[in-house]
């Protein structure tokens, strides 16, 4: 048995070396397929980042008129939560907190500090920071509550109109990207199917007689199938190594360019933190396609 | 050892190759199967190897009905038979040495034995100088001799030789036939399909003559008469 395994691996390595043309062609198509899958994973990472960004961005700040009682504001807060139950977060920021935050943020700015001192009293208004769950409908609902409820007279101004445009813009961008992703995914699957078929075809043309002969001299199915499967594994591993290195290099090179478009998102950082997922996807896909195509080819010819 | 029981083989409606054939081959026999080209000699050997199934009738190998034997059993039977195919059936991606070694590896033989036996048999058959050639780097006669070496290397109980001398010169033909005779003397069963009149007449062994899908003659110490 041990001898057999050794022989099967030996046959596989020999066949691999002797059919360099086919080996290289197979690795090439397999590499492209895996790169497409990898691309989709990168894309998913970027989309995930964008979504998170939007979720943080869609918020509304309601400033209350100076001198509004804290209890009144907290009532408004409860009201909003009651009317829009799955809202992500409503945070009360008092006059003093607003001043403290501002001072902390600009503590190095002497001019601003002086200006504040000259004003004398606290110029900030108490406010409610409302974070929606990135659903535009919910966003509209909250805006509506703030404008039309009985407590709207307590509100000095609502800060959302400027953001509205950006929010809608980001939404259209992400939905466009999603459509793009779906199209890419379809192309990807088509390519993958083509690759598998191509691999099968090449192998069939090459090994039909051979499998036949092995069968007629009484080789067991395992003995015949083994080398083809091991070859599939070899194709998968080599393609994986190539793809893994390529993804790392691409991520490194494109990282700075992507950061210009998406501030705060590091492509290479994404690669580094998720390296084991890359290994899993690329190795799994490579070996999977390699072995399954080998199985299909041999199965077809073993039936005599 | 091998028994045909009312075997009929029809490839398609129009080509009836064997028709209701019954005969038996005993252990240690040297049987020649003769007949015109296309009469069904190769088909007969393929039936014994389980590479074709009879349209009707049964074939027994050592009492095992090939119709009902499972694939693993059939493969075991094939390993017991050394077969020289008319179309050689060499492994194109393996060298001369590897082609012969493969047969032993299939049998699960140890490496030491393989390293010992393969060069020996290649030497006997006159391919000692070509062990690293691939089949497509061999002449027709060399391919045939490689096919013979492969059939002999496992020291099988039965050798089926389908036209083993078709591509050989008279000297090599003589060598191969006397080799088969020697193996037969050692107690092995030989089935030889040929249309070489001279070989048959010289052998003086059992001859089964096929014609039109029937066995028209089956004689011990037969002659080639068609
Ligand atoms: N796979 C097949 N499908 C259909 N017909 C076949 C097949 N194999 C053989 N035949 C037909 O069966 C007949 C017998 O063929 P076979 O190869 O057994 O002849 P043979 O006696 O070995 O001839 P030769 O002396 O030329 O080798 C031929 O007419 C051939 O055309
Ligand atoms: Mg024939």
- Given this structure, which CATH class describes domain A58-161? alpha beta
Q: Which residues of A touch B102 (CB under 8 A)?
A: 214, 217, 219
Domain count, chain B: 1
- Give span(s): CATH 3.30.70.3040, chain A: 58-161
Q: Which of B75, B85, B98 sits opposite A220 (nearest CB)?
A: B75
What is the whole-number distance in angstroms between the Cα of residue B42 and the centre of ligand 2?
4
| Cα–Cα distance measured from residue A160 to residue A143, given in angstroms and rounded to the nearest whole number | 8
Kindly list the protein residues whose Cβ atom lies closer than 6 A to any atom of ligand 1: B 11, 15, 17, 35, 37-43, 86, 195
3-class SS string, chain A? CHHHHHHHHHHHHHHHHHCHHHHHHHHHHHHHHHHHHHHHHHHHHHHHHHHHHHHHHCEEEEEECCCCCHHHHHHHHHHHHHHCCCCCEEEEECHHHHHHHHHHHCCCCHHHHHHHHHHCCCCCCCEEEEECCCCHHHHHHHHHHHHHCHHHHHEEEEECHHHHHHHHHHHHHHHHHHHHHHHHHHHHHHHHHHHHHHHHHHHHHHHHHHHHHHHHCCCCHHHHHHHHHHHHHHHHHHHHHHHHHHHHHHHHHHHHHHHHHCCCCCHHHHHHHCHHHHHHHHHHHHHHHHHHHHHHHHHHHHCC
Q: Is the pLDDT of residue A58 over 60?
A: no
Cα A249–A255–A256 angle (5° rounding)?
A: 130
Domain annotation covers residue B109: yes
Q: Which of B49, B78, B105 sits opposite A7 (nearest CB)?
A: B105
Q: Residue A196's pLDDT is what?
A: 63
Q: Which of B49, B76, B93 sits opposite A216 (nearest CB)?
A: B49
- Ligand in nearest proximity to the CA of B37: 1
Per-residue pLDDT band at A164 (split at 50, 70, 90): low
Per-residue pLDDT band at A192 (split at 50, 70, 90): confident
Q: Residue A161's pLDDT is what?
A: 47
Per-residue tokens: B100: 């012969």
CB contact under 8 A, B108 and A18: no
In sequence order, the β-bridge partners of residue A64 are: A155
| Cα–Cα distance measured from residue B34 to residue B161, given in angstroms and rounded to the nearest whole number | 12
Domain annotation covers residue B83: no
Q: Is the pLDDT of residue A162 over 60?
A: no
- Ligand in nearest proximity to the CA of B38: 1
Burial of B169 (0-12, 13-18, 19+ CB in 10 A): exposed
pLDDT in tens, A198-207: 766 676 667 8
Domain annotation covers residue B48: no
pLDDT in tens, B95-145: 999 999 999 999 889 999 999 999 999 998 889 999 999 999 999 889 999
What is the whole-number distance in angstroms between the Cα of residue B59 and the centre of ligand 1?
19
Ranges under pLDDT 70 in chain B = 226
Of B28 and A197, the structure prediction assigns the larger pLDDT to B28
CA-closest candidate to residue A14, choices A226, A281, A286, A280: A226
Domain annotation covers residue B45: no
Q: Residue A57's pLDDT is what?
A: 60
Look at the block and give the residue holding tokens 């089949």.
B135
What is the whole-number distance in angstroms between the Cα of residue A213 and the centre of ligand 1?
18
pLDDT in tens, A117-152: 777 778 888 888 887 765 666 777 777 777 777 777
Domain annotation covers residue B123: yes
Q: Is the pLDDT of residue A236 over 50?
A: yes
pLDDT in tens, A255-293: 888 888 877 788 899 999 999 999 999 999 889 888 888
Write the Ramachandran bin of A154: left for phi over 0, alpha for psi from -120 to 50, otherwise beta.
Answer: alpha
Q: Residue A245's pLDDT is what?
A: 95
Beta pairing class for B189-193 and B158-162 = parallel
Domain annotation covers residue B56: no
- The ipTM (two decimal places) reads 0.86
Q: Residue A22's pLDDT is what?
A: 83
CB contact set of A80 (below 8 Å; sequence gap of 6+): A87, A90, A128, A130, A142, A145, A146
Q: Which residues of A touch B94 (CB under 8 A)?
A: 14
Residue span of the structural domain in which B121 resides? 92-155
Q: Which of B90, B102, B108 sits opposite A4 (nearest CB)?
A: B108
Question: Cα-Cα-Cα-Cα dihedral of A174, A175, A181, A182, to 10°?
Answer: 160
Closest protein CA for atom 29 of ligand 1: B38
Look at the block and give the residue holding tokens 């192998």.
A203
Task: Report yes or no: B87 at the A interface, CB cutoff 8 Å.
Answer: no
Q: Residue A166's pLDDT is what?
A: 64
Among A217, A221, A228, which would you mutate to test the B interface (most chain B Cβ atoms within 10 Å of its Cβ)?
A217
Closest chain A C-alpha to B78 CA, distance in angstroms: 5
Q: Residue A203's pLDDT is what?
A: 65
Q: Residue A48's pLDDT is what?
A: 77
Tell me the pLDDT of chain A averaged across its residues: 81
Closest protein CA for atom 10 of ligand 1: B11
| CA A210 remoteness from chain centre | 45
Q: Residue A200's pLDDT is what?
A: 60
Q: Residue A79's pLDDT is what?
A: 81
| Cα–Cα distance measured from residue B150 to residue B136, given in angstroms and rounded to the nearest whole number | 16
CB contact under 8 A, A217 and B83: yes
Q: Is the pLDDT of residue A94 over 90?
A: no
Cβ neighbours around B52 below 10 Å, total: 19
What is the whole-number distance in angstroms between the Cα of residue B39 and the centre of ligand 1?
7
Is there a contact between B51 and A304 (Cβ–Cβ < 8 Å)? Answer: yes
Mean pLDDT of A216-220: 89
Q: Residue B132's pLDDT is what?
A: 95
């Amino acid at each position: 048995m041990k001898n057999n395994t050794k022989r099967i691996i030996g046959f596989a390595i020999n066949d691999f070396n002797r059919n360099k043309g086919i080996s290289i062609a197979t690795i090439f198509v397999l590499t492209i397929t895996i790169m497409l899958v990898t691309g989709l994973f990168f894309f998913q990472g970027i989309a995930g980042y964008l979504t998170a960004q939007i979720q943080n961005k869609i918020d509304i700040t309601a400033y209350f008129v100076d001198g509004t009682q804290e209890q009144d504001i907290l009532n408004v807060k409860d009201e909003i939560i009651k009317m829009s139950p799955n809202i992500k977060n409503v945070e009360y920021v008092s006059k003093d907190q607003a001043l403290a935050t501002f001072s902390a943020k600009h503590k190095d700015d002497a001019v601003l500090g002086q200006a504040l001192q000259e004003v004398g009293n606290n110029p900030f208004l108490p406010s409610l920071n409302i974070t929606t769950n990135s659903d535009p409908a919910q966003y509209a609902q909250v805006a509506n509550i703030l404008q039309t409820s009985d407590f709207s007279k307590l509100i000095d101004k609502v800060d959302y109109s400027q953001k509205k445009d950006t929010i809608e813009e980001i939404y259209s961008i992400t939905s466009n990207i999603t459509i793009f992703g779906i199209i890419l995914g379809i192309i990807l699957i088509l390519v993958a199917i083509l690759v598998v078929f191509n691999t099968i075809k090449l192998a069939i043309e090459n090994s039909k007689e051979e499998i036949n002969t092995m069968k007629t001299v009484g080789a067991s199915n395992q003995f015949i199938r083994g080398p083809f499967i091991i070859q599939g594994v070899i194709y998968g591993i080599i393609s994986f190594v190539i793809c893994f290195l390529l993804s790392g290099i691409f991520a490194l090179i494109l990282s700075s360019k992507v950061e210009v478009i998406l501030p705060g998102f590091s492509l290479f950082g994404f690669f580094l933190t998720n390296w084991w997922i890359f290994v899993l996807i690329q190795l799994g896909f490579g070996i999977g396609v390699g072995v399954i195509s080998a199985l299909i080819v041999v199965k077809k010819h073993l039936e005599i | 050892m091998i028994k045909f029981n009312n075997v009929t083989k029809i490839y398609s409606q129009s080509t009836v190759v064997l028709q209701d054939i019954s005969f038996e081959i005993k252990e240690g026999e040297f049987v020649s199967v003769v007949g015109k080209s296309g009469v069904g000699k190769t088909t007969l050997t393929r039936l014994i190897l389980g590479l074709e199934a009879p349209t009707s009738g049964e074939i027994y190998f050592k009492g095992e009905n090939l119709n009902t034997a499972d694939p693993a059993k059939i493969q075991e039977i094939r390993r017991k038979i050394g077969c020289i195919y008319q179309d050689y059936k060499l492994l194109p991606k393996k060298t001369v040495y590897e082609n012969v070694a493969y047969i032993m590896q299939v049998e699960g033989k140890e490496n030491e034995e393989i390293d010992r036996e393969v060069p020996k048999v290649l030497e006997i058959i006159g391919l000692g100088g070509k062990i690293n050639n691939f089949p497509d780097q061999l002449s027709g006669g060399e391919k045939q001799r490689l096919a013979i070496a492969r059939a002999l290397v496992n020291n099988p109980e039965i050798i089926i030789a389908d036209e083993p001398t078709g591509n050989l010169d008279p000297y090599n033909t003589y060598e191969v036939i006397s080799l088969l005779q020697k193996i037969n003397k050692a107690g092995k069963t030989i089935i030889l399909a040929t249309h070489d009149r001279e070989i048959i007449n010289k052998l003086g062994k059992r001859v089964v003559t096929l014609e039109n899908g029937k066995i028209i003659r089956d004689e011990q110490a037969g002659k080639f008469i068609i």
